[in-house]
Amino acid sequence: MALKIRLARGGSKKRPYYHVVLADARSPRDGRFLENLGSWNPMLAKGDEKRVQLNGERIKHWLDQGALPTDRVLRFLDEAGISKRETRNNPEKAKPGKKAQERAAEKAQKAADAAEAAASAE
């Protein structure tokens, strides 16, 4: 059974509250879980100590058993010093889309043609 340490959403509409849970990877986001390992309240200020609460001892136990944390949970674990998250870099994500690149090339070509026409008119 593949185990994941992930977030399960609670709270009311527009007032999110998340539980950090250990669940089977096949179970739904807010479905059955094996153990509650902590909580995250994104409504609190970033500096608030109650914003993220983790049971480090149990999380270490489940990580040793082979449970895999999701990316967001891994960020919390890295902040708490429990696990290490490698920084990621995706330079492709910052590039404009195909159509935008085509429009930019077309605009540059028109500007070059206009400059060439102005230079030949003089």
**CA torsion angle for 74, 78, 83, 85 (degrees, to 10)?**
70
Burial class (CB in 10 A: 0-12, 13-18, 19+), 115: exposed
pTM, to two decimals: 0.71
Strands across the sheet with 68-69, in order? Answer: 52-54, 35-40, 15-24, 3-12, 68-69
Residue-level pLDDT at 119: 84
> Which CATH number belongs to the domain containing residue 35 in this structure?
3.30.1320.10
29 and 70: one domain?
Answer: yes
96 and 75: one domain?
Answer: no
Domain that holds residue 70: 3-80
pLDDT-derived band at 23, boundaries 50, 70, 90:
very high
20 and 76: one domain?
Answer: yes
Tell me the pLDDT of the chain averaged across its residues: 91
Q: Is the pLDDT of residue 1 over 80?
A: no
Overall domain count for the chain: 2
Give the bridge partners for 9, in sequence order.
Answer: 18
Q: What's the rounded Cα separation, in Å, for the pair 23 and 36?
A: 9
45 and 68: one domain?
Answer: yes
86 contact partners, CB below 8 Å, separation of at least 6: none
